[in-house]
């Protein structure tokens, strides 16, 4: 199956493109379209859905961070924008807003960061973040600090590598709202 995703930025595209097939192996190819932020995503996603129609995408998922606001409200606004656009895709479109941000999930498994560091011949010095992760407005800064501890750049390639080796069960335990993402991907 080919799944099209519309996301905020290149790091999101890289990480989600690795996480999604791990959750649902029937998804063989993930075509991603980063938009350049939250506001541009709201303005551009319908155009990307139209583009997906020409690329034999079977289903699409529009993903946006909620920045610790109610994710359902973010999803409803995106759904409304699609309805108001008048475009009716010939494939199913799903919407998902994280409880806060993607980096919240990647923080859950510092050993994944350390494995990426070792694979790149860097010191595995990423330290765990204690306590609850969901609701942390500083998740991106914390994740970038974790990458810095392991001498890794905060770029799309590293995001993809971390998402490839992160323990999904650990993410689910530390970030309970992640289960909604798993459910949404399984629904696709």
CATH (domain of 11): 3.40.50
- 18 and 96 in a single domain? The answer is yes
Contacts of residue 24, Cβ cutoff 8 Å, sequence gap at least 6: 185, 186, 188
Please say whether the dihedral angle defined by the alpha carbons of residues 116, 122, 124 and 127, taken in this order, is positive or negative: negative
Mean pLDDT of 146-162: 98
Question: What does the pLDDT look like over 40-96, one tens digit per residue?
Answer: 999 999 999 999 999 989 999 999 999 999 999 999 999 999 999 999 999 999 999
Question: What does the pLDDT look like over 24-45, one tens digit per residue?
Answer: 999 999 999 999 999 999 999 9
CA distance 158 to 177: 23
Range of the domain at 51: 2-100+177-187
- 44 and 25 in a single domain? The answer is yes
- 73 and 109 in a single domain? The answer is no
178 contacts 105 by C-beta, under 8 angstroms = yes
- 92 and 109 in a single domain? The answer is no
- 94 and 111 in a single domain? The answer is no
Name the domain count of the chain. Answer: 2
- 165 and 182 in a single domain? The answer is no
């Amino acid at each position: 199956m080919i799944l099209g995703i519309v996301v905020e930025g290149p790091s999101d595209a890289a990480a989600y493109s690795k996480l999604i097939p791990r959750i649902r192996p029937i998804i063989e190819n993930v075509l991603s379209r980063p938009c350049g932020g939250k506001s541009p995503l709201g303005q551009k996603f319908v155009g990307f859905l139209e583009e997906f129609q020409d690329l034999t995408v079977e289903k699409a998922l529009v993903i946006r961070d909620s920045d610790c606001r109610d994710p359902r409200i973010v999803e409803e606004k995106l759904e409304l924008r699609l309805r108001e656009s008048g475009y009716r895709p010939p494939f199913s479109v799903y919407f998902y807003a994280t409880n806060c941000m993607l980096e919240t999930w990647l923080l859950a498994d510092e050993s994944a960061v350390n494995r990426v560091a070792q694979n790149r011949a860097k010191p595995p010095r990423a330290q765990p973040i204690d306590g609850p992760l969901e609701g942390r407005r500083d998740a991106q800064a914390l994740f970038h600090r974790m990458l810095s501890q392991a001498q890794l750049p905060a770029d799309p390639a590293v995001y993809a590598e971390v998402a490839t080796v992160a323990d999904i069960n650990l993410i689910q335990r530390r970030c309970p709202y992640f289960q909604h993402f798993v459910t949404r991907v399984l629904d696709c």
